[in-house]
Structure 1
Amino acid sequence: MRFMGAERVEEAAASCAELLRQVVDEDWENTKAGGLEWSVRFTVTHIASDFIGYASNLASRAQSSYVPFDITVDGDENGNYRADNAGQIDVVTAMGALFAATLRTAPREARAFHPYPFRSADRDGFAAMGVAEALLHTHDIAGAFGLPYEPPAELAEYVLTTIFPEVRPGPAPWPTLLWATGRGELPGRARLTAWKWTNNHVIDAGRITLQGVTPAAAADLSSGGDGGFAWVEDGPYDGTRDAAGMLLKAYEAGVHRPEFGVYVLVRREDGRAVGGMGFHGSPDDAGRVEVGYDLAASARGHGYAAEALKALASWALAREDVSVLVATVERDNLPSRAVLTRSGFVQVGEKGDAGELLAYERGR
Structure 2
Amino acid sequence: MPPQPIHTNRLILIPFTLEATKTLMAGDTSILPKLGLQLTPFWPDQEAIDTFPKIIKNLELVKEPTGFESYMVVHRVSMTVIGDVGFKGLPNADGEVDIGYAIIAQAQNRGYGLETAQGLMNWAFQQPGVKAITARCLLGNAPSARVLVKLGMQQVSTTEDFIRWRISNPNLQPSIST
TM range (shorter): 0.7 to 0.9
1:288 maps to what in 2? 96
1:225 maps to what in 2? 28
2:144 is the alignment partner of 1:336: yes
2:69 is the alignment partner of 1:261: yes
Give the whole-Å Cα distance in 1 for the aligned partners of 2:51 and 2:129: 22
Give the whole-Å Cα distance in 2 for the aligned partners of 1:237 and 1:324: 30
TM-score by length of 2: 0.83
Give the whole-Å Cα distance in 2 for the aligned partners of 1:250 and 1:361: 22
Counterpart of 2:15, as a letter, is: G
Give the whole-Å Cα distance in 2 for the aligned partners of 1:286 and 1:230: 40
Give the whole-Å Cα distance in 2 for the aligned partners of 1:311 and 1:271: 17
Rg larger in structure: 1
2:17 is the alignment partner of 1:209: no
Structure with greater helix percent: 1
Structure with greater strand percent: 2
Give the whole-Å Cα distance in 1 for the aligned partners of 2:146 and 2:132: 19
2:128 is the alignment partner of 1:323: no
Question: Contact 1:347–1:359 (CA<8 Å) still a contact in 2?
Answer: yes
Counterpart of 1:274, as a letter, is: I
Query: For residues 78-126 of structure 1, what are the alpha-carbon distances to aligned partners after superposition, in whole Å with 9 as ceiling and x for unaligned?
Result: xxxxxxxxxxxxxxxxxxxxxxxxxxxxxxxxxxxxxxxxxxxxxxxxx
Question: Contact 2:84–2:102 (CA<8 Å) still a contact in 1?
Answer: yes
> Aligned residues, how many?
164
2:115 is the alignment partner of 1:307: yes
Gaps of 5+ in 1: 1-197
Secondary structure (helix, strand or coil) at the match of 2:100 reads strand
Give the whole-Å Cα distance in 1 for the aligned partners of 2:140 and 2:134: 18
Give the whole-Å Cα distance in 2 for the aligned partners of 1:279 and 1:246: 11
Superposed CA RMSD: 1.8
Question: Contact 2:156–2:165 (CA<8 Å) still a contact in 1?
Answer: yes
Q: Residue 153 of structure 2: which of 328, 340, 345 is its match?
A: 345
2:167 maps to what in 1? 362
* Residues 1:272 and 1:225: Cα distance change in structure 2 (over 3 Å): same
Gaps of 5+ in 2: 170-178
Give the whole-Å Cα distance in 1 for the aligned partners of 2:14 and 2:167: 22
In the TM superposition, residue 271 of structure 1 has moved relative to its aligned partner by: 0.7
1:176-255 aligned within 5 A:
198-226=1-29, 227-228=31-32, 229-254=37-62
In the TM superposition, residue 254 of structure 1 has moved relative to its aligned partner by: 4.2
Counterpart of 1:209, as a letter, is: I
Query: Which has the higher relative contact order, 1 or 2, with Cα contacts under 8 A spaced 6 or more apart?
Result: 2
* Residues 1:278 and 1:254: Cα distance change in structure 2 (over 3 Å): closer
Give the whole-Å Cα distance in 2 for the aligned partners of 1:271 and 1:263: 14
TM-score by length of 1: 0.42
Secondary structure (helix, strand or coil) at the match of 1:276 reads strand
Counterpart of 1:234, as a letter, is: F
Query: For residues 330-359 of structure 1, what are the alpha-carbon distances to aligned partners after superposition, in whole Å with 9 as ceiling and x for unaligned?
Result: 1111111111112222211112xxx22101
Give the whole-Å Cα distance in 2 for the aligned partners of 1:251 and 1:265: 17
Give the whole-Å Cα distance in 1 for the aligned partners of 2:39 and 2:99: 22
2:83 maps to what in 1? 275
